Structure 1
Amino acid sequence: MSTERQVPARYYARLMEVVRAMDIDTDALIADSGIAADALAEPEGTISLAQIENLLAATQAATGRSDLGLALAAALKLTSHSAVSYGILSSPTAGYALGLVARFFSLILPTFRVRYGCRDNTMRLTLTPAAGMSHACFAFHLELIVACVHRELHDLIAGDMPPYDVHFSIETPPHVARYDSLREMRTHFGVMGQPGADMIWPRDLASRPLAMSDPTALRMAESRCAEMLERARVSEGVAAWVGMMLREAHGPPPGHCELAAALNISSRTLDRYLQKEGTSFRELSKQARKDRAGDLLSQDRLSVTEIAMELGYADAANFSRAFRRDTGLTPSQWRQQPPAAPN
């Protein structure tokens, strides 16, 4: 299976415009990231996820800013999403517009999945990663998507947004004060067990009519999006995605069957895909467990017992035994001699 995921370049071209306004040499950032300048200039150009990782790392280093996802969201408009924009604008209700976004989100950013639904008294949009990526890249895109959805839904309903909640899997960022500008949003960081975010509004917002509703334009936009989606369907690697889902989870990691269900495949099919990529769920789980434990131990802010609870172990003794089995060191020995810990 191919792991070279291609992503629309338009958002990163806009990011470079935002960074250029900070008096940063974006030509150097683009070249150093291995991206051809014309790839960003092309309206339908694409770049690889690896190139995006390089560009974000270089840009964050050059600017010294952790809030680039929010900065980019503020610079995007409802018309920034190619054919999907026309479907959003011509939707009859706010709920229909969010459902359309969920159906065609892979045309916007194929590195994430979006689910939409209403239950009890809430309308909910759930974001989860669809590709393996670094934590910095994941956090950038998660904040970007959440802020974009907020701003664009705000515009669709002419600013009449009720207070609502967003639950993030990522920890509170250094720039959390920037969320104050998204007035109706109540943010809750580090509370989702699985990587991603949940945006939860009162259910009656789903039926809110939109001023630009146009059934004919909507049919044309949905037809166009469906054609584009069919052309874009390709087989893709899953090992990096499984590894990231295990690494980014809070509390007990997702199970084998749970991850297969998230991909709409059977556990046996997931095993075949991983085998083709030269690994297995067991190996990925073992590596993710070591990585998460090592990261928490290196931060030196939690006790061994607290880390055991964070990782889903019944007690510190079980965690210590598992960590020693994986690394050859006890948690206390690892903290005293971190360079000696195996990779």
Structure 2
Amino acid sequence: MSINMKSWDFCRSITSVQILVALGQEYGAPLDRLLLNTALDQQSLSNPEIVVEASAEMAVVRNLLRELPHVPNLGLLAGERYLLSAYGIWGFALASSPTARKAVELSQTYQELTFVFSGFTVEEQGEYAILVFDNSDVPADLSLFSIERELHAAMIIIRELIGDAMGEEWVKFQHPRPENADVYEQCFHGRVEFSAERNELRFPRSALDKPRTFGNLTTASLLDKQCSELIAKRSARRGLSGKVRDIVLRQRPMSMDMELVADALCMTSRTLRRKLALEKTSFRQLVDEVRLSLAEEMLSGTRLSVEQIAERLNYADASSFSQAFKRMSGQTPGMLRKQGESLPS
């Protein structure tokens, strides 16, 4: 991330947009209004492999606030929907951590795999572990929504990780006490303060090092590595490469035709090839990345057979798919599927 980028300016999976759109629709907001100024559509929402810019998610939040001015505390309502399972590989990594301390360390290291606008740091003071959220560079019209969502989601995740050891948390908000402060007290199980110096979530420090029943150090280490690789992949695929990847992802059935993709980008295949070369990649490499990403998702998250996955990814047969998968990932489809079965539920 360049030094001039905002702390929230990173690509993220479309899952958060799906959550926000579902919230808006439950309160009667129409889909087309919720997706205004995002370049997204229903087909995009149905594709879990789509990666969006932070600006697109911010547009959805603005649309949500505009369409539902009569619904108070939308940030708190959104935050309660961000369970660990919503975060993909990041959530699995935290859930596999042998202790809450390891989970908190991973959560801070890989914030770019979350959906936060307000970045956070971790401190330990006396009897408390403290998550400190900074929303100073979040646009003013989204600041309140952001901090409500982030603190509520963080509280839910910490409770998922440490269970009864959480006790009663202590939450602090920088904004003044609102008229409907009772809603905050319903969302949080402990002390809630307003007009504080910082936005904080405090919980017992003693809970950090208690062994977790479902933790597994080997699995956590593997997922730690995969988190790092996913961030590297997302960072490397901005610009034209990212657009090509998105177009290939949206094609159903999946097409490997460079001419069709070039047409969608209003350029010739020759120009596309030249511009991708400037980004140190190629159409074939991007297609391989898309296929690998989808294959990993289907192998670990569905019961589709290898033959069915091969067909969906436009391989000639299961053998061709298996050979290509091993070439790209270094392991067979069966090996990855076994790893997925070993993850905590």
TM-score scaled to structure 2, two decimals?
A: 0.60
Q: Is the contact between residue 7 and residue 110 of structure 1 (CA under 8 Å) also seen in structure 2?
A: no
Q: Is the contact between residue 171 and residue 189 of structure 1 (CA under 8 Å) also seen in structure 2?
A: yes
2:175 to 166, 170, 173: 170
Residue 204 (structure 1) shift? 0.9
Q: In structure 2, what is the Cα distance between the partners aligned to 1:219 and 1:23? A: 43
- Output the amino acid matched with 1:66: P
Q: In structure 2, what is the Cα distance between the partners aligned to 1:184 and 1:208? A: 21
Q: What residue number does 2:276 align with?
A: none
1:141 to 135, 146, 156: 146
Alignment of 1:89 with 2:95, yes or no, is yes
Q: In structure 2, what is the Cα distance between the partners aligned to 1:34 and 1:170? A: 33
Name the SS of the counterpart of 1:58 in structure 2: helix
Aligned identity (percent) is 16
Alignment of 1:13 with 2:27, yes or no, is no
Q: What residue number does 2:330 align with?
A: none
* Inter-CA distance 81–91: structure 2 relative to 1 (3 Å threshold): same
Residue 214 (structure 1) shift? 0.9
Q: What residue number does 1:48 align with?
A: 53
Q: In structure 1, what is the Cα distance between the partners aligned to 2:77 and 2:216? A: 31
Give the alignment of 1:250-265 within 5 angstroms: none
Residue 19 (structure 1) shift? 1.8
- Output the amino acid matched with 1:97: A
Q: What residue number does 2:79 align with?
A: 73
Q: What residue number does 1:100 align with?
A: 106
Q: What residue number does 2:208 align with?
A: 206
Q: In structure 1, what is the Cα distance between the partners aligned to 2:52 and 2:126? A: 41
- Output the amino acid matched with 1:80: A
Q: What residue number does 1:229 align with?
A: 231
Q: In structure 2, what is the Cα distance between the partners aligned to 1:102 and 1:60? A: 28
Structure 2 unmatched runs, 5+: 239-345
- Output the amino acid matched with 1:207: D
Q: Is the contact between residue 130 and residue 203 of structure 2 (CA under 8 Å) also seen in structure 1?
A: yes
Q: Is the contact between residue 84 and residue 101 of structure 1 (CA under 8 Å) also seen in structure 2?
A: yes
Q: In structure 2, what is the Cα distance between the partners aligned to 1:6 and 1:204? A: 34
- Output the amino acid matched with 2:80: A
* Inter-CA distance 174–7: structure 2 relative to 1 (3 Å threshold): farther
Residue 160 (structure 1) shift? 4.0
Q: In structure 1, what is the Cα distance between the partners aligned to 2:203 and 2:163? A: 16
Q: Is the contact between residue 30 and residue 37 of structure 1 (CA under 8 Å) also seen in structure 2?
A: no
Q: In structure 2, what is the Cα distance between the partners aligned to 1:213 and 1:68? A: 33
Q: What residue number does 2:221 align with?
A: 219
- Output the amino acid matched with 1:79: S
Structure 1 unmatched runs, 5+: 237-343
**CA RMSD of the aligned region, Å?**
2.7
Residue 180 (structure 1) shift? 2.2
Name the SS of the counterpart of 2:49 in structure 1: coil
Q: Is the contact between residue 117 and residue 146 of structure 2 (CA under 8 Å) also seen in structure 1?
A: no
Q: In structure 2, what is the Cα distance between the partners aligned to 1:160 and 1:121? A: 13
TM-score scaled to structure 1, two decimals?
A: 0.60
Q: Is the contact between residue 172 and residue 196 of structure 2 (CA under 8 Å) also seen in structure 1?
A: yes
Deviations 1:91-129, CA, capped at 9 Å, x for gaps: 112222122111111111364422223233321111224
Residue 32 (structure 1) shift? 5.1
2:195 to 186, 190, 195: 190
* Inter-CA distance 158–47: structure 2 relative to 1 (3 Å threshold): same
Q: Is the contact between residue 11 and residue 112 of structure 2 (CA under 8 Å) also seen in structure 1?
A: no
Q: Greater shift after overlay, 107-116 or 208-217?
A: 107-116
Residue 5 (structure 1) shift? 4.8
Q: What residue number does 1:124 align with?
A: 130
- Output the amino acid matched with 1:71: L
Residue 233 (structure 1) shift? 4.3
Alignment of 1:157 with 2:162, yes or no, is yes
Q: In structure 2, what is the Cα distance between the partners aligned to 1:103 and 1:229? A: 11
Q: In structure 2, what is the Cα distance between the partners aligned to 1:113 and 1:18? A: 23
Residue 33 (structure 1) shift? 4.6
Name the SS of the counterpart of 2:27 in structure 1: coil
Q: Greater shift after overlay, 182-191 or 34-43?
A: 34-43
Q: How many residue pairs get matched?
A: 232
- Output the amino acid matched with 1:69: G
Q: In structure 2, what is the Cα distance between the partners aligned to 1:143 and 1:90? A: 27
- Output the amino acid matched with 1:26: L
Q: What residue number does 1:252 align with?
A: none
Q: Greater shift after overlay, 220-229 or 157-166?
A: 157-166
Residue 48 (structure 1) shift? 3.0
Name the SS of the counterpart of 1:123 in structure 2: strand
Q: Is the contact between residue 106 and residue 113 of structure 1 (CA under 8 Å) also seen in structure 2?
A: no
